[in-house]
Amino acid sequence: MNTSEPLYVRVVASTETVLVRLAGELDLDSAPLVDRAVGACLGAGVRRVTVDLAAVTFCDSHGLMALERSGRIAAACGVTFQLSGVHRRLRRILSLYRDGSLPGVDVPSFARPEAGSCR
């Protein structure tokens, strides 16, 4: 029985920029939604994909891997991939995950650990 809150995905596109707004829980069950949403945005002149995480209430390692995967795929397509709306709880998780860096993902600097930090 799955008791997690569903993840809602809304895509707002313009000529060269796409905003993917996520709301709810980003976990094992919902991570494929991120893969599909970002994958569908690539191509047709898109230069930047921004994933808005402001309304994400939970993110586990599968959610982080989905963001990393999407960033790598976007980078391979020559598309800038960035995160926005990263709240404090998620910033902390990002700072612990792979030393605060997601390959292919432009993580806001406030989500990265400070130099010399042992957190």
Tens digit of pLDDT for each residue in 10-62? 999 888 999 999 999 999 999 999 999 999 988 778 999 999 999 999 999 99
Tell me which amino acid residue 51 is.
Answer: V
Lowest mean pLDDT among 27-36, 81-90, 110-119: 110-119
Distance CA 11, CA 103 (A): 23
pLDDT digits (tens, 9 = 90+) for 59-75: 999 999 999 899 999 99
Question: CA nearest 33: which of 9, 58, 54?
Answer: 9
* Cα 82–Cα 64–Cα 113 angle in degrees, nearest 5: 70
pLDDT of residue 88: 85
Contact, 71 vs 78, CB < 8 A? no
At residue 84, the pLDDT reads 92
